[in-house]
Structures are given as structure tokens and as C-alpha cells.
Amino acid sequence: MAGKVCSKCVMDESDSEISFDGNEVCNHCITFENETKKRWFPNAEGAQKLSDLIKRIQNEGSGKEYDCILGLSGGVDSSYLALKVSEWGLRPLVVHVDGGWNSELAVANIETILKYCNFDLHTHVVDWEEMRDLQLSYLKSGISNQDVPQDHIFFSTLNHFATSNGIKYFLSGGNLATECILPRAWHGSAMDSVNLKAIHKLFGTRKLRNYKTISFFDYYFWYPVVRRMRTVRPLDLMPYDKSKALIELQNVVGYKPYERKHGESLFTKLFQNYWLPKKYGYDKRRPHFSSMIVSGQMTRKEAIEKLSEPLYDHDELKNDIKYFCKKLRISQAEFEELMIVPNRSYKDFPNWDFRYKLLKRVKKFLDSLVGRKIAIGH
């Protein structure tokens, strides 16, 4: 463990912005109790909100081929949401974005979910040469959030499909029960196309002709205000328990679990379980387990025991690095060179942080002017 550890969860000083109160409880736990819980409804109130949401989606989507859009990665969260959406009688446009790193098991799980739910799948295959160039650019940049190239194209593709099909509701598998704690110091916004383009301009070797990005205007104004599109998180309106969700998926659908977190993506698996902890000292299990502790799905003792387990099996790691290098067409020596590139923050490159701060000030003024909170962004 790195330095002081929270007495309530397992976040530690690997988060450079962490702070503790007199009882050594961290700011993440305090924020959850004072703020985050107000947006989490694993109760009767949530059940009513969910029922109202389903009716609203159905009513507004009446007469259309699809009434919502759902991104399916093959992970537990999106797979469980797909199962629930089927039970609710919604008609989703199911989209999978193939960034080139799908594991065989992920592909099998996606097929299993689709067959059970009787959903059609629309797959967008990303231009691999452009994705490879962008991912290598990020690796050369030295910033910690290497998932941006995949995350950004995922959301930009979903927005494109939603717009072309007149869909207003994007159903996200994101949830507070397992993701309410995530250190801001570890990452920037995956939607920040200014940052993405700046990094690629410095380190890339080819133009991104087919890789579609989302502009600041699109993300915070065009989609939510003009197109009136909404991202909703149904899992926050129910008592979502990831371990129970996995068991239900296994028993009902025939879903097969992954050996490691993010086993659906071979890139994210290596990035989160090796690259982040070795290069930056960030163990993504800490915020994940801490989220589960404050949401009541895990005890602190259980989390500490799990953190003592190795992130990787030696032979598995060796094989994954070999595949990683082959896929990106780099040598083992080049991989090791990338590992020692000086660590940088996304803030070391042009970004849209200033625009966002300005937008928040304008929003605060407008909120006070109209007497209610105005929704911006997804």
C-alpha cells in the first residue's frame, strides 16, 4: 500500500489529491455520503423512477423501430443491462464497437446475450491502422489514461447511430454501485477531443480520416440541448450487485465469466492490470473495491485480502505482452522503452478544461436565473 490508507475504504495516497479527516476517512467516502448517495436509488424510490423512465422511453419511441440505444461490450454491466432491457420490453438498437482488442470470450458472450434477448446487433469495426496509430500516440505521450482512444470512439459511434436513427435515450451500464469512486488525478475526460487531437498531432504518424471525434459543442450543446439526447443509467435505479448480476447472467443466459477484470478487452486487461500499477502505481482495483465497500457489496477486510492477490499470473502476463506487441507491431524492446517514457498528465497537453470551467460558470448563472438546474452534456 502506498502511504496512508482510508480507514473506511481502501483508497490510498497513490491518489495525489486524496485527503483525510480526523478519523482518517478519505474525501471519496465523505463525498459519497454527502453528495453521491443523493443520485443513487437502490430502493423503492428507484423502482418508481425506473418504471417512469421505461414508460417515458416507450412513449417517446412509439412508432419508431428503436426506442433507445445500448452499447454492448460483453462485460458484466452492459450484458446485465441488456438482459434487463429485454425483460422491460424495450426495443434497443444494440451497438458493439470493435476496436480491435476483443477477446474470444467477449465475442462469445455477446453472441449469447443477443441470442437470448433476440436483439439485432450493429457492429462498428474501427479502422485498425488509425486506432493503432492513436493508441501508440497515447503510449508515447506518457499520460495514464490509455483507454481514451477506445472510450472516445465508443461514445462517438453511439451518438452517430442514435442521431441517424432518431433515438433520444442512450442506456449506459455505468453505475455508482461499482464505479462511484475514481480519482480525478488518475485521468482526464475521455470525451476531450481537444486533448486527443493534440496528443495525436504530436506523436501520430497518419491522419485520422475515419476515426470520428466529438467536439465540445457537440457533447455539451448539440446532442443534449438541440437533439435532446439523454444518457440514462438504469442500474443506479435498482439494487445493483455485480456478483449477483454475474450469477444471474450465468444461470439465465449461459454467460461465461472472465478470469480478470476487463477480460473482454485484451488491451484494457493489460493496461489496467499491468501498465497502470507498474508505470504509475495506480491499482484500479482500489477505486473499484472502494466503490463496492461504500455501496455495501464488499467489506474492507475482503477488499484488503483481494488486494493481496497478484494482478497477473506470470505466464499469462508474458503471453499477453507478446500479443500486445504483435498487435501493435512493436518489439519487446520498444514496449520496454514505452514503459519508461516520462509520466505526464493530460494537462500537459492542450485540453478543454478551461472551456468546461467557463461552461459551469454560465450554467450556474442560468440555473439561478430560471430557478432550476439546466442539464448540460450527456
Q: Is the pLDDT of residue 232 over 90?
A: yes
pLDDT in tens, 149-180: 999 999 999 999 999 999 999 999 999 999 99
The C-alpha atoms of residue 376 and residue 373 are separated, in whole angstroms, by: 9
pLDDT band at 108 (very low <50, low <70, confident <90, very high): very high
Whether the model pTM is above 0.75: yes
CATH topology of domain 27-342: Rossmann fold (3.40.50)
Going by DSSP bridges, is the β-strand pair 230-232/68-71 parallel, antiparallel, or unpaired?
unpaired
DSSP string, 204-215: -SS--SS-----
Q: Is the pLDDT of residue 220 over 90?
A: yes
Sheet strand arrangement including 68-71? 121-125, 92-98, 68-71, 169-171, 230-232
> Is residue 215 within 8 Å of 194, Cβ to Cβ?
no
Over pLDDT 70: what percentage of the chain? 98
Region 106-135: what's the mean pLDDT?
A: 96
Cell numbers linked to 161: 447511430
Mean pLDDT for all residues in the chain: 94
Q: Is the pLDDT of residue 106 over 80?
A: yes
Region 266-272: what's the mean pLDDT?
A: 94
pLDDT in tens, 49-58: 999 999 999 9
pLDDT in tens, 12-26: 999 999 999 999 999
| Weakest-pLDDT range from 78-87, 95-104, 267-276, 359-368 | 359-368
Over pLDDT 90: what percentage of the chain? 91
pLDDT band at 194 (very low <50, low <70, confident <90, very high): very high
Q: What is the pLDDT of residue 1?
A: 46
> Is residue 254 within 8 Å of 116, Cβ to Cβ?
yes
pLDDT band at 376 (very low <50, low <70, confident <90, very high): low
Q: Which helix (H) or strand (E) holds 248?
A: helix 242-248
Longest Cα separation, the chain: 61
